[in-house]
Amino acid sequence: MSAAVTLTPPPEAALSLDIDAVTKSYGPTIALRGVSFDLRRGEVHALLGENGAGKSTLVKILSGIVKPDNGSVRLGGQRFAPHSLMAARAAGVSTAFQELSLLPNLTVATNLTLPKQRKGLLGLASRRLNEAYAAQLLAECDAADISPGALVSDLSLAEKQRVEIVRAVSHRPRLLILDEPTAALAEPEWLFRIVERLAASGTGVLYISHRLAEVRRLCRRGTVLRNGESIGTVDLANARDGDIFRMMVGRGAEEPADATATPVRRDAPLAVTLRDLRGPGVDGISLNLHRGEIVGVAALEGQGQRELFRMLGGAAPILSGDVAVEGKPVQFASPLQALRAGIGFVPEERKIEGIFLGLTTASNISLPILGRLLRFGLIDRTRERAEVGRAAALVDLAARYVGMRISALSGGNQQKALIARVLLSGARNLVLFDPTRGVDVGTKEVIYGVIRDFTAKGGSVLLYSTELSELVHLSDRCLALYRGRIVGEAAGAALTEERLVSLATGHGE
């Protein structure tokens, strides 16, 4: 194969995609209940839906990572059932994943050329040839500013996202899947140009985003998923935002924040006070969290929210600044010490940092209170069962799950168990990082209820969510983070998604 790069596949290669009644469940969790839509030759088709609507599962099916249980997928009229990522790629479908799939310890060039490294003399992978090819590829995609020799781990998040997209495009797909491609991009225009170029050449693009403005700009038609079902395909030009939103959430508009919850509980005693907190990614944050208060944090990806929450959870170092809990200065260098200081942390990555897949749900929940359950040095199983049962009831986790291995539970139930654990730990202040990530709508409602109950009993909550609607719905007030600083605050009637977006993009005050 010559080293020349062509972005544009021959026009006759353009394919249509027909998805018909596709279903998929993971154990007891139904991810897709029935999705049907079609993507015409060379169309840029939007896939819309809230988190947990089933978008990611559909992406995985089309990318060959998981197999659907039922239903059919046809690509260009042919049955399309790839058994691996490579098979999907060979059939002409390539994907830029939302959760980037680059190998951080390798260079941009290696990432772009794997698995088919350009070989030099002696049949060894040639760095020079690979980098030349990568440079050509990047230039062709208007991304010449990224050095092919740079390590991926040294790139900014936006650069990584671009490399991920360039790689997907470099396979010369006949169908390109872009999963939340602009989540981390500072200049989405770059992507729009690529998508438009590909579309003009006849490549189909499945564009997944919940940013309506982008979708309207690129796509003529869009399919709305809700709760694992395709609710319908709409002609975007003729649909108003409100209609699409109604299809996505299944109701007219988000209920306004509970009027009785305001006025904000600022006269309540202080629960957690931060003074000029600094550390990697966090650039001087001060805030007061009152008892009974839910304070939301809104931010675009990578504005220091993850670092801030990890600092408060004891999982990241605090370089300077003061933390006080109920007026008393505290210091902590580990989650254990944070917990002792009264701050419980629910991390974002449930499987990596949250649960213990090899243990039962009960063992997962009782972990922080084992010390209290000891009798003569042994765990008192009766009391353990009682405590775990109490915590499980708080989060509406069915008793039959408690004795099962947690790996057998759905993501939503795992998340409930995780929250049960942090409730059981006795911490009066919770730091929740995206606690409803990837859980179904029912579980979300339960988690909202738990958070409200917790604060009604005098607890305080700092909450980050990628879903602005959730922040608007739950928070007493909401802070916007931008580049490691708090750049604005919204409360009461001013707490709207539009307001949060403008604050979080740094256009607030």
Say if residues 509 and 502 touch (Cβ distance below 8 Å).
no
Contacts of 449 (CB under 8 A, 6+ apart): 396
Name which of residues 417 to 436 contact another protein (CB under 8 A).
Answer: 421, 425
Task: Please report how close the Cβ of residue 227 comes to another protein at its closest, in angstroms.
Answer: 19
Q: How far apart are CA 476 and CA 499, in angstroms?
A: 15
Cα-based torsion angle of the residue sequence 256, 492, 272, 420 in order, rounded to the nearest 10 degrees: 0
Q: Return the range that interacts with another protein (CB under 8 A); candidates 153-161, 168-176, 201-209, 292-300.
A: 153-161
Query: Which phi and psi (to 5°) does residue 64 adopt?
Result: 85, 15
Exposed (0-12), middle (13-18) or buried (19+): which is 461, by Cβ within 10 Å? Answer: buried
Residue 368 lies near another protein (rule: CB under 8 A): yes
And the tokens for 493? 């009637």
Dihedral sign (CA 384, 385, 389, 392): positive
DSSP 101-152: ---TTSBHHHHHHTTSPPB-GGGPBPHHHHHHHHHHHHHHTT-TTS-TTSBG
Q: Of 1 and 378, which has the nearer Cβ to another protein?
A: 378
Q: Return the range that interacts with another protein (CB under 8 A); candidates 10-18, 203-211, 357-365, 443-451.
A: 357-365
Name which of residues 39 to 78 contact another protein (CB under 8 A).
Answer: 56, 60, 65-66
Task: Please report how close the Cβ of residue 427 comes to another protein at its closest, in angstroms.
Answer: 9
What is the contact mask toward another protein in residues 163 to 202, using x (rule: CB under 8 A)? --------------------xx------------------
When binding is defined by CB under 8 A, the residue of 54, 279, 347, 459 that contacts another protein is 347
Name which of residues 104 to 143 contact another protein (CB under 8 A).
Answer: 104
When binding is defined by CB under 8 A, the residue of 1, 4, 12, 99 that contacts another protein is 99
Task: Please report how close the Cβ of residue 406 comes to another protein at its closest, in angstroms.
Answer: 8
Residue 412 lies near another protein (rule: CB under 8 A): no
Q: Return the range that interacts with another protein (CB under 8 A); candidates 228-236, 240-248, 302-310, 468-476.
A: 302-310
Q: What angle do CA 151, 3, 205 make, to 5 degrees?
A: 75
Q: How many residues bind another protein (CB under 8 A)?
A: 61
When binding is defined by CB under 8 A, the residue of 10, 27, 269, 358 that contacts another protein is 358
Task: Please report how close the Cβ of residue 101 comes to another protein at its closest, in angstroms.
Answer: 5
Task: Please report how close the Cβ of residue 4 comes to another protein at its closest, in angstroms.
Answer: 30
Q: Of 349 and 445, which has the nearer Cβ to another protein?
A: 349
Residue 306 lies near another protein (rule: CB under 8 A): yes
Strand-pair category, 485-491 with 477-482 = antiparallel
Say if residues 234 and 226 touch (Cβ distance below 8 Å).
no
**Long-range interactions of 353-359: CB distance < 8 A, separation 24+:** 353/315, 354/414, 354/415, 354/418, 355/406, 355/414, 355/417, 355/418, 356/406, 357/405, 357/406, 357/407, 358/405, 358/407, 359/405, 359/406
Task: Please report how close the Cβ of residue 52 comes to another protein at its closest, in angstroms.
Answer: 14
Residue 18 lies near another protein (rule: CB under 8 A): no
Task: Please report how close the Cβ of residue 364 comes to another protein at its closest, in angstroms.
Answer: 8
Task: Please report how close the Cβ of residue 242 comes to another protein at its closest, in angstroms.
Answer: 31
And the tokens for 451? 């958070």
CA dist 306 → 188, 258, 477, 482, 507 (Å)? 23, 27, 19, 12, 21
Task: Please report how close the Cβ of residue 196 comes to another protein at its closest, in angstroms.
Answer: 25
Name which of residues 312 to 341 contact another protein (CB under 8 A).
Answer: 313-317, 334-336, 338-340
Q: Return the range that interacts with another protein (CB under 8 A); candidates 141-149, 204-212, 363-371, 462-470.
A: 363-371
Residue 398 lies near another protein (rule: CB under 8 A): no
Q: Which residue has the tokens 């929250």?
A: 419
Smallest CA-to-CA distance from 343 within 263, 432, 408, 264 is with: 432
Three-state secondary-structure class, residue 231: strand
Residue 27 lies near another protein (rule: CB under 8 A): no
Q: How far apart are CA 335 and CA 379, in angstroms?
A: 23
Name which of residues 242 to 301 contact another protein (CB under 8 A).
Answer: 301
Q: How far apart are CA 492 and CA 291, in angstroms?
A: 18
In angstroms, how far apart are the furthest CA atoms of the chain?
77
Q: Return the range that interacts with another protein (CB under 8 A); candidates 70-78, 110-118, 152-160, 232-240.
A: 152-160
Residues in contact with another protein by CB under 8 A are 56, 60, 65-66, 97, 99-101, 104, 153, 156-157, 160-161, 183-184, 301-302, 306, 310, 313-317, 334-336, 338-340, 345, 347-349, 351-360, 362-363, 367-368, 370-371, 373-374, 377-379, 381, 403, 405, 421, 425
